[in-house]
Amino acid sequence: MAESAMTRRGERERYDIKLLQVDWGFALVLSLIAGIGVLVLYSVGGMSWEPWAYNHVLRFGLCFLFMIVLALVDLRWWMLLAYPAYGVSLLLLVAVELVGDVRMGAQRWLEIGSFSMQPSEFMKLSIVMALARWYHEAGTKDAVLSWKLLIPFTMIMAPVLLVAHQPDLGTAMLILLTGITVMIVAGLDWRIIGTAAVGGAVAIPFFVLFVMHDYQRKRVLTFLNPEADPSGDGYHILQSKIAIGSGGLLGKGLGLGSQSQLSFLPEKHTDFILAAVGEELGFLGAFTVFALYALAVFMALRIASLSHSHFGRLAAAGVTATFALYVLINGAMVMGLAPVVGVPQPLLSYGGSVMTTVMIGFGLVMGVKVHRYQELPRTQSFLSHFE
Amino acid sequence: MSEPSIFFEDVNEKQGTFHRRIFLMGGVTALGIFALGGQLALLQIVQGGKYKRLSAANQFNFRVVPPPRGKILDRNGNVIAGNRPSFRVLIIRNEIDDLDDTLDQISYVLPQVQDNRRRIVRDINQSQRFVPTVVAADLTWEEFSRVNLFAAEIPGVQAVMDEIRVYHYGGAFSHVVGYVSKISEKDLEAEGENPDPLLLHPGFRIGKQGVEKAFDKQLRGVAGAQKIEVNARGNIVAEDPDGTRPPTPGEDITLTLDAEVQARALEVFEQDSGSAVLLNIHTGEILCMVSAPSFDPNLFVSGISSKAYKLLNEYERRPLLDKAIGSTFAPGSTFKMATALSFLDAGVDPSERVVCRGSYRFGNRTFRCHGVHGSVDMRHALKFSCDTYFYHICNRAGVDRIAATAHKLGLGELFDLEIEGQKSGLVPTTEWKRTYFDGTKGRPKDPKWHPGETLSVAIGQGYTTVSALQLAVYVSRIANGGKAVTPHLIKKIGAVDTDFDFKPLGIPPEHIQIVRDGMEMVSNDADGTAFRNSQLNLGDMKMAGKTGTAQVINYDRAGTRKATQWKNKDHGLFVCYAPVDNPRYAMAVIVQHGIAGGRFAAPKAREIMKVALLKDPELQARIVAPPPPEPVEAAETAPPEVESTEVAPESNEYIPPVP
């Protein structure tokens, strides 16, 4: 009944029908990941709901409800808001550049009254929406090889440069890679991809040597040889590896990890929470977390492939790309495969802004699932199709 | 556009490309997750053992547990130097990002940190980054608990309890026992290549002077180790009793000193500057060796302020100087026993009389005596301390013979004492003069010994300088009948009398008896120079002594016999032994710029000697139950102050015709 109802225009607008179409399996996987997060936060908080575990539950609960609500929003609204959201995000980034608050040596925060925010967080989502809309409206050939590709390229590079200048290289890299992924799945010509890959490989050493700030360069060099300075910059990487490695197959047990409990592990509740998982729950626990992340990515990609609208496909794929990049970069960083860049593990790490961004993104992905049969017009005047 | 747009605008073409590419994206993600899983397996399963060890090394730490320093006891087991608990706050620079910020936080709970901030910052900057530095010591229990509660929150800050040295008798033993203080770079270098880890412990104190320095290795003990579980800040989470090795405490050291005698000695000096040394004449045990004024050694344990140190160092009466062994003075008339013995050695008849008219003309110079003594023999020359007698005879003995006798008796000698810092002083000889005044190093060329110089030496002036310890040994050797007793400070446990069987000096006993007679008359004849100040009031126990007054400036040149400034006044000396009938103790007292020995040094000697005599168990028995008085023959010829008459008949023999 449900499938057939979805194909009928009048039926599928009903909210009870839409609620049935929400991907509850996907929601369960996300909840499981957040649940493991709560468990570990309870443990590293000294076997206590305070200070982190309780807040994590509360945050995830609220974000979960928000995600379900967003899933019911018509895709045309998402599309309508794509460019304005991108524009506002870009303006906020410029504002941060001009009047932003310097915290921990980087200019990332914008104070509005007593409320402070990080515009780069909004940009992660709005860049995906804006690119999806552009490709939705562009021709097939434009997406492959055309001078018009300079438009999405500029759309990506403007926020990337602004965020990199703050300087927040982690987020800048995340936005850049998300944008590139969207361009690739939209059908970018392999020759461009190849040329860019070779060019990037050549440019990176120059970038490290001449463009990076001292502390950023130090982090990269430390990553390449962490044992050279075990008490300084290499400390985080080394302690994280010790925590994971000492966990063994089955782990030391919740609340029994000496590395996480005795504060040898830095940022054990945020960026390095995966190390705490590895130490206390062992290979089995950490591998389960990775398996759940992989499952979430595949479920989201399947949703993307189901969509009948190109906007829906690219938006879902873009959000998934952001999510997957979070997981991979953080995982590599915690295990000593990448420099320490300050990227948290989504849903697992304690912290509000990333959780909010990711769950709003998944609200869009859910919306793509719910509205997969909706066909969006290609023209600028699609608004006329609203009732 | 030139191409037929209808083909490329096809929706299905867009979808097809997307599907292929999304499949690729899934594949890349899978590959990434797979790589992470591989690294996970490598770390946790393949290298798990290695990281388990590293984790344990992080978690457990060995901490040096300092041993309690050995106690220093007096001869009766009283603790002179002991230990007391001390609560302290330490900072480890290595674990702190912002020192100022950390100090601000500490001074919030401990306001005194703010006051000493400059010193603390200097200390921290001077020590190695991983070595803890003391920021506050001697906290009260309340302060300590407050810090303990709070310090756990500040990285690099530790509140610890350990032991600290304490000297129970204040300044009484400052010079002889010395003190401990923070280890310096120089001390550390002296320890050689691999210093004991104990030396780097912030609570460690090293002996800097006296017994503390000389016996530092024995007193120090061996450090223990404690296995502790620490967190990343180095704060102790738990202790592991199985991994703990207890420290070996330092050895206790028992001294020959008597705390009561010593304390009384410092007391009688009051504000005066000088020293007192009291020896057992048979064993050489030093019962008292005090230098005044003194200082509180406890100040140095926790670190003396530079202001306080400056005050001590610049004070005219030099409290930091050990005046018992480290300063030498002209002995003045206390030297006359040595001169007299050399006369006897040269064959001078002790009954030979010399007439004193208040001065003695030698060559074209007049040597003055301090009084007009009339006709005196050797005993009376000692009794009245008549300079004229010694001026008259000295060139018959010659300076070299005088010097040889003085050296035999211990003057100008260095003894095999356990602590450092002895000065030898000087007893001049013709040989010395020849080599010393050779015209080099700004000294005049005057190698010949002039007979007039012998006159100065004979009365203990001129070039002659001795230390208080030497004087005490010198009197001891006279009092014990000419045995080469040597002083020592460490009590020999279980020693018997034969251990103290000192060789004879080769001075005939009858010679020694003559000078002892002279000394006895000094103290016990009503007209002896120290009669008034030598009365012990201990029944039949008497003291024999000799006064000395050593000139500091040349009065002839100054034009007056009165010095007005303290530093120009004469030194007062007094040497004595007691009891006269069976000597046991000998002592020397020097009062720096103390004007006259009889008036200012003798009373001090009497008071100190009294304590020593009263504490001696054998002599105590004599006082408590005096032997029944023998039938008195020449009763009450002794001075009225003397209660007993035992020694009086003996001394009657020597009462001379009053000139």
Q: Does any CB of chain A come closer than 8 Å to the CB of residue B621?
A: no
Cα–Cα distance, B278 to B612 (Å, whole number): 9
**Hunting for tokens 């304690």 — which residue is that?**
A350
Which residue from A minimizes the CA distance to B21?
A185
**Which of chain A's residues have a Cβ under 8 Å away from the Cβ of B52?**
245-246, 248
Contact B22 A264 (CB under 8 A): no
Q: What are B574's two structure tokens?
A: 């007094």
The verdict on B237 touching A (C-beta cutoff 8 Å) is yes
Of A330, A357, A346, A325, which Cα lies nearest the Cα of A89? A357
| pLDDT above 70: residue B129 | no
Residue B310 forms contact with A (CB below 8 Å) = no
Give one word for B604, left, alpha or beta, with left for phi > 0 and alpha for psi -120 to 50.
Answer: alpha
Q: pLDDT digits over A156-173, tens only? A: 999 999 998 887 888 898
Same domain, B155 and B218: yes
Same domain, B81 and B185: yes
Of the three residues B254, B269, B301, the one that is the final residue of a domain is B254
Predicted confidence (pLDDT) per residue in B604-654, tens digit: 999 999 999 888 888 888 777 666 666 655 444 444 444 444 443 444 444
Contact B29 A297 (CB under 8 A): yes
**Cα-flanking dihedrals φ and ψ of residue A267, to 5°?**
45, 45
Indicate if B415 and B535 belong to the same structural domain: yes
Instruction: Give residue B319's identity as a one-letter amino acid code.
Output: P
Q: Please give the Cα distance from B35 to B584 (Å, whole number).
A: 93
Q: Is B9 a domain residue?
A: no
Please check whether residue B3 lies inside any domain of the structure: no
pLDDT tens, per residue, chain A with 387 residues: 455 666 677 777 888 889 988 999 999 999 999 999 999 999 998 888 988 999 999 999 999 999 999 999 999 899 999 999 999 999 999 988 887 666 655 666 666 655 556 788 889 999 999 999 999 988 888 888 889 999 999 999 999 999 988 878 888 989 999 999 999 999 999 999 999 999 989 988 888 877 777 777 777 777 776 666 555 556 778 889 999 999 999 998 888 888 888 777 878 888 899 999 999 999 999 999 999 999 999 999 999 999 989 999 999 999 999 999 999 999 999 998 888 877 899 999 998 788 999 999 999 999 999 998 888 877 555 555 554
CA distance to partner chain B, nearest, from residue A278 (Å): 8
| B180 and B315 together in one domain | no
The answer to whether the CB atoms of B18 and A331 lie below 8 A apart is: no
Residues of B in contact with A143 (CB under 8 A): 14, 17
A379 to chain B, any CB pair closer than 8 A? The answer is: no
Helices marked H in B348-467 — which ranges?
378-384, 387-397, 399-408, 430-436, 451-458
Expressed as residue numbers, the domain containing B165 is: 61-254
Give the pairing of strands B79-91 and B133-136: antiparallel
The closest alpha carbon to B574, from B542, B541, B540, B608, belongs to B608
In this structure, what token pair is assigned to residue B413?
């000698």
CATH number of the domain enclosing B277: 3.40.710.10
Q: What is the CATH number of the domain that holds B178?
A: 3.90.1310.10
Query: Which residue of A245, A263, A298 is in closest CB contact with B43?
Result: A245
- Give the pairing of strands B60-65 and A115-117: unpaired
- pLDDT (tens digit per residue) in B486-522: 999 988 665 555 567 888 888 999 999 999 999 999 8
Is A310–B18 a contact, with Cβ atoms under 8 angstroms apart?
A: yes
**CA A5, A11, A17, A19: dihedral to nearest 10 degrees?**
120
DSSP B352: -
DSSP B492-542: PTT--GGGG-PPB-S--HHHHHHHHHHHHHHHHSTTSTTTTT----BTTB-
Chain A contacts in chain B segment 77-116 (CB below 8 A):
94
How far off is chain B from A103, nearest CA to CA, in Å? 17
How far apart are the CA of B156 and the nearest CA of chain A, in angstroms?
A: 14
Chain B residues touching A313 at Cβ < 8 A: 15, 18, 22
Whether residue B162 is found in the same domain as residue B203: yes
CB contact under 8 A, B22 and A317: yes
What's the mean pLDDT when you consider all of chain B?
83
A9 DSSP 8-state letter: H
Same domain? For B243 and B193 the reply is: yes
B44 contact A CB<8A? yes
Question: B 18-37 residues with CB below 8 A of A?
Answer: 18-19, 21-22, 25-26, 29-30, 32-33, 35-37
Final residue before a domain boundary, out of B254, B273, B300? B254
Q: How far is A358 from chain B (nearest CA, A)?
A: 17
Establish if B2 belongs to a structural domain. no
Q: Tally the residues of chain B.
A: 659
**A310: which chain B residues are within 8 Å (Cβ-Cβ)?**
11, 14-15, 18
Q: Are B315 and B387 contained in the same domain?
A: yes
Tokens of B550: 């050593």
Instruction: Give the β-pairing of B253-254 and B72-73.
Output: parallel
Task: Fill in the DSSP letter of residue A230.
Answer: T
φ/ψ of B525, rounded to 5, equals: -85, 140
Domain count, chain B: 2
Answer whether residue B31 is part of any domain.
no
B40 to A297: CB separation less than 8 angstroms, yes or no: no
DSSP reduced 3-state for B370: coil
Residues of A in contact with B156 (CB under 8 A): none
Judge: A278–B44 Cβ closer than 8 Å, yes or no: yes
Round to whole Å and give the CA distance between B638 and B535. Answer: 13
**Which domain-ending residue is among B254, B269, B300?**
B254
For B3, the closest chain A residue by CA position comes to A141
**Residues B272 and B231 reside in one and the same domain:** no
- In one-letter notation, the amino acid at residue B528 is G
Q: Looking at the DSSP assignment, which residues form a beta bridge with residue B490?
A: B255
- A221 in contact with B, Cβ within 8 Å: no
Q: What is the DSSP letter of B653?
A: T
What is the total residue count of chain A?
387
Report the C-alpha gap between B387 and B400 in whole angstroms.
Answer: 19
> Between B10, B36, B231, which is nearest A263 by CB?
B231
Q: At what angle do helices B48-59 and A234-247 cross, to 10 degrees?
A: 120
Q: In chain B, whose CA is at the least distance from the CA of A316?
A: B22
pLDDT digits (tens, 9 = 90+) for A350-386: 987 889 999 999 999 999 999 988 888 775 555 555 5
Query: How many Cβ atoms sit within 10 Å of the Cβ of residue A380?
Result: 7
Residue B128: per-residue pLDDT: 65
Tell me the residues of chain B between 200 and 229 that have a Cβ less than 8 Å away from chain A. 229
Residue A242 to residue B58, Cβ atoms within 8 A: yes
The verdict on residue B46 lying in a domain is: no
pLDDT at residue B638 in the model? 43
Q: Please check whether residue B128 touches A, CB under 8 A.
A: no
SS3 state of residue A187: coil
In-domain check, residue B54:
no
Closest of A120, A204, A125 to residue A167, by C-alpha: A120
Nearest partner of B203 among B117, B106, B132, B298, judged by Cα: B132
Contact B515, B283 (CB under 8 A): no
Query: Do B393 and B540 share a domain, yes or no?
Result: yes
Best CA proximity match to B157, nearest among B233, B101, B58, B62: B233
A-chain residues near B4 (CB < 8 A): none
Residues B443 and B544 in one domain: yes
The arithmetic mean of pLDDT across residues B106-125, rounded, is 82
- Is B52 within the bounds of a domain? no
For residues B239 and B227, give the distance between their C-alpha atoms in angstroms, rounded to a whole number.
6
| B184 vs B321: CA distance, rounded Å | 21
Q: Which residue has the higher pLDDT, B221 or B13?
A: B221
pLDDT tens sequence across B21-66: 999 999 999 999 999 999 999 999 999 888 888 888 777 767 778 8
> Cβ(B158)–Cβ(B234) under 8 Å?
yes
CB half-sphere exposure, B247, CA atoms < 13 A: 21
Residues of A in contact with B55 (CB under 8 A): 242-243, 245-246, 258-259
Residues of A in contact with B94 (CB under 8 A): 231
Q: Which of A262, A305, A320 sits opposite B237 (nearest CB)?
A: A262
Which residues in chain B have their CB less than 8 angstroms from residue A297's CB? 26, 29, 33
What is residue A183's predicted lDDT score, i.e. its pLDDT?
Answer: 94
The answer to whether position B35 is within a domain reads no
Asked if A181 is an interface residue toward chain B (Cβ–Cβ < 8 A), one would say yes
A169 phi, psi to nearest 5 deg: -65, -35
**Residues from chain A contacting residue B50 (CB–CB below 8 Å):** 245
Phi, psi dihedral angles at B156 (to 5 degrees): 80, 5
- Considering the domain architecture, whether residues B239 and B276 belong to the same structural domain is answered as no
Q: Which H/E stretch holds residue B158? A: strand B157-167
Please report, to the nearest 10 degrees, the dihedral formed by the alpha carbons of residues A271, A272, A278, A283 taken in order: 50
Beta-bridged to residue B217, according to DSSP, are none
| Same domain flag for B303 and B186 | no
